[in-house]
Amino acid sequence: MRYKSQAVAYWYFAVAVALFGLQLVFGLLSATKYLGPDPLLYILPFDVTKMIHTNVLIVWVICGFMGATYWMVPDESRTELHSTRIAYVQLVLWTLMGLATVVGYLFRWGTGNKLLEQPLPSKIVIVIVMLMFLYNVGMTIRKSGRFTTTEGVLLGGLGLAAVLYLPALLYYENYTVSIFYRWWTIHLWVEGVWEMIQGGFLAYLLIRLSGADREVMEKWLYVIVGLVFIAGILGTAHHYYWVGVPSYWLPIGGIFSALEPVALVGMAMYAYFAIRRSGMAHPNKLALHWTVGSAVYTLFGAGLLGLAHTFPSVNKWTHGTLITAMHGHAAFYGAYAMIVLAMITYALPSFTRRPEEGTSMGYLSFWMQMAGMFGMTLSFATAGIGQVYLERIMGMGYLDAQLKIQVHFVMLIITASIFTIGVALFIIDFFRYAPRLEPLRADAPNHPLDANRTAATT
C-alpha cells in the first residue's frame, strides 16, 4: 500500500465479501425449494428468497467495484484520495441501504420490477452514494494531474453505470413499458458498461502482475470498449422478443448479440498472452489465478453460453427458463464476482500480513469455486434443456415438468454446496489476518510492490 487513503478499500472489501456470503445463504435456500415441500413457504417463499439473492449480488459487486476503485485510482494517479471522510460516509450509507432494503424485502416492500425491486428511498440513497463516489474519484484524478487510459475506461464505466440507473427511478403504469426500460439499466449494465469496469480492472491487474507494456494493454482496452458499445447497445434488442416491439429489432438483437463474445475473446486472449510473456513471475500467483480466471470464465459464461440462447429463434423457447439461469450464474460470476475477488486478492497482502504468494486455503477456495460454479452451470443447463422440451415443446404443465427434472436440482444443491464452501474459505482467509492499514516504506522487507515497477509506472 503506497498511500494511506487506500486503506478505505479494505473496509469496502470486508463489506463486499460478507454480503457475498449472505447472498449464497439465500441462493441455497432458493434452490432447496425445488426439491419438495417447503416448510418456510409462508415465512420465506421463493419469490422473496430469490429477490434477496439477486439484489444482494448487485449490492456486494458494486461495493467491490467501489473498493477496488479506491485502491486503484490513488495508485494510478500517484496521489492520496481526495477525501477519506466522503469514502467512509459513502460506505456507511451504502451498507445501511443494502441491509434495510433486504429487511424490507422480507416484509414484501419492493417494486416488483425484477432486479430493480429496490423501493424509491433505497434508489435515492443509491443515487446519492454514486454521486459522492464519482465526485471523490473525479477530484482525486483532477488534483493529481495524471489521467491514464485505464482510469478513463474505469471511470467511464462507473459514470455510465450511474447514468443508466436513471430509468430505474421512474414508475410506469404499463408493465410492458416498465420491462422495456428495465433492460436499459440491466442489460446495458451487465453487457455494456460493467464490462468497461471489468476491462479497466483487468488492464490494471495485468500491468501490475505481468509487467505487460501499458501502451499495449491500453490499445486492447480501446478495442474492447469499442466492441462493447457497438455490440452491447444494439444487442439489448435480444430481450425485445417478449415486449411487443417492431419485428425488425429481432434480427438486430440477434446479430449484435452474436458479436458480443468477440470483445470477450479479445479480453481472454490479451490476458492469456500477457501472463504467458511474464512467465508467471509475479509472487502473487493467487491474484494471477483470479485475474486470468475472470477473463476465461467471462468468455465461457457471458460469451459462449449467452450466444447459445440469445438468437430469437432459440430465445423464444428458452427465455425465462433455467437456461437463462445457466447463462446468468456463469456470466455474473466470471465477469464481475471474479474480477472483484482478483482485486481483493491482489490488494490484501498490502492490508494484512497474509503471504503475498497466497495461502493453501486461498488456492483451495479458488479451485472449489471453479468446480462448484462449473457444476452449477451444468446442472442448470441439463435442467433447462429438459424444462424447455417438456414444457414448451411437449406442452407439459410446469409442476409436472419440475418433477421430471428434479434430479438435476439434487446435482445443483451438491455443486452449489461445493461452491459455497469455496466462498466460505475465501471469507475466512480474508478475515483471519488482522488489518494493517499503514503504508509501508518502499525499502521495507517483503514490501508488496509490483514485480516490474518500471512497467507499472510508465
Instruction: Tell which residue, 379, 253, 236, 337, has the closest CA to residue 13.
Output: 337
* Spatial CB neighbours of 419, under 8 Å, sequence gap ≥ 6: 24, 368, 369, 371, 372, 373, 375, 376
What gap in Å lies between CA 150 and CA 200, rounded to an integer?
5
CA angle, corner 323, sides to 320 and 329, nearest 5? 100
pLDDT at residue 100 in the model: 95
Helix locations, 352-405, DSSP H: 360-387, 398-404
Give the predicted TM-score (pTM) of the model: 0.92
Read off the pLDDT of each residue in 27-47 and give the average, rounded to a whole number: 91
What gap in Å lies between CA 326 and CA 24, rounded to an integer?
16
pLDDT at residue 381 in the model: 96
Assign 278 a pLDDT band (cuts: 50, 70, 90).
low
Among 306-310, 333-337, 349-353, 421-425, name the one with the lowest average pLDDT.
306-310
- Tell me which of 179 and 56 has the higher pLDDT: 56
Q: Give the C-alpha distances (Å, rounded to integers) separating 331 from 76, 289, 303, 412, 437.
A: 28, 18, 8, 17, 33
Contact 392, 323 (CB under 8 A): no
Assign 53 a pLDDT band (cuts: 50, 70, 90).
very high
Per residue in 436-446, pLDDT tens? 877 755 444 44
Per residue in 141-188, pLDDT tens? 999 988 888 898 899 999 999 999 988 888 888 888 888 888 889 888
Per residue in 188-200, pLDDT tens? 898 888 988 988 9
Assign 280 a pLDDT band (cuts: 50, 70, 90).
low
pLDDT at residue 274 in the model: 74
Q: Give the C-alpha distances (Å, rounded to integers) separating 128 from 136, 187, 313.
A: 12, 22, 42
- Tell me which of 101 and 253 has the higher pLDDT: 101
